[in-house]
């Protein structure tokens, strides 16, 4: 009796060795405990492929500038943390991959980064911009450099409009953040106690080597 091709395909999946699961890398060359755990688990292998695909799309968020360098550095840092923290723990890896997918697919991911004005970490100012989820917006934190113990000046969140602007109220001050390809320009208006804006109202430039998730060290 002939066996339907679909049955053969199903049997192939069932009988295939654990190491045969597809991933974004060559499982025949898997060397670390993390890589071996991914290749041995079909669900993790699929998550690995999904993250690789989302990462590829994220790199195209801006046509030029230093965005690609920034997002590659972020991905490299994530891979390093994944291996160091989860090792071969499949439950940990699954959770980590799911979180990474949320980050890479965030609607306003392209605005993420650490934007600097002045000379950090010696002095100056920096903006940390992080995409929020599930809300389609961003969080913006403005600090003095260096920042070993805080020194936060502004903390707002909101939605970036079609013109690349985020407008938020901050203690009676109106803060308008104007996003460009690798820049954020801050313009503040309001009563006299917003005079600090004379210092913080600058154009900040994204540093592709820095992460908005890490503290600035002196």
d(CA 191, CA 202): 19
pLDDT of residue 8: 35
Residues in a beta bridge with 126: 116, 143
Q: pLDDT under 50 in the chain at which residues?
A: 1-20, 218
| 131, β-bridge pairs | 138
Q: Is-cis flag, bond preceding 104, omega within 30? A: no
pLDDT for 18: 42
CA distances for 85 relative to 79, 81, 92, 152, 167, angstroms: 10, 6, 8, 29, 38
Rounded CA separation 62/67 (Å) = 6
Phi, psi of 191, deg, nearest 5: -70, 180
Q: What is the pTM of this model?
A: 0.84
- Which residues, other chains included, contact 143 with Cβ-Cβ below 8 Å and sequence gap of 6+? 125, 126, 127, 128, 150, 151, 152, 153, 216
pLDDT in tens, 69-102: 999 999 999 999 999 999 999 999 999 999 999 9
Look at residue 4 in the predicted model and tell me its pLDDT.
45
pLDDT of the residue at 148: 57
Q: Work out whether the CA dihedral 52, 53, 55, 56 comes out positive or negative.
A: positive
Residue 61: is it exposed, middle or buried by C-beta count within 10 angstroms (0-12/13-18/19+)?
A: middle
**Given this model, what pLDDT does residue 10 score?**
34
Q: What is the pLDDT of residue 152?
A: 87
pLDDT at 105: 94
Average pLDDT of the chain is 87
| Calpha distance 148→141 (Å, rounded) | 15
- The predicted pLDDT at position 151 comes to 81
């Amino acid at each position: 009796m002939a066996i339907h091709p679909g049955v053969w395909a199903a049997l192939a999946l069932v009988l295939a060795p654990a190491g045969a699961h597809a991933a974004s890398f060559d499982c025949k060359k898997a060397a670390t405990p993390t890589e071996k755990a991914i290749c041995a688990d079909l669900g993790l292998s699929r998550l690995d492929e999904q993250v690789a695909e989302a990462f590829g799309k994220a790199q195209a968020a801006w046509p030029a500038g230093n965005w690609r360098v920034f997002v590659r550095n972020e991905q490299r840092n994530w891979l390093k943390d994944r291996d160091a923290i989860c090792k071969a723990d499949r439950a940990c890896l699954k959770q980590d991959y799911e979180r990474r997918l949320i980050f890479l697919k965030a609607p306003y991911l392209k605005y993420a980064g650490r934007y600097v004005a002045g000379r950090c970490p010696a002095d100056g100012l920096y903006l940390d911009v992080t995409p929020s989820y599930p809300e389609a917006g961003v969080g913006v934190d403005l600090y003095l450099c260096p920042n070993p113990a805080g020194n936060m000046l502004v903390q707002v969140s909101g939605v970036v409009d079609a013109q690349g602007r985020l407008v938020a109220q901050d203690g009676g001050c109106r803060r308008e953040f104007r996003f460009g390809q690798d820049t954020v320009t801050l313009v503040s208006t309001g009563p006299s106690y917003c005079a600090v804006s004379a210092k913080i109202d600058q154009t900040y430039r994204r540093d592709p080597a820095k992460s908005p998730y890490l503290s600035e060290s002196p």
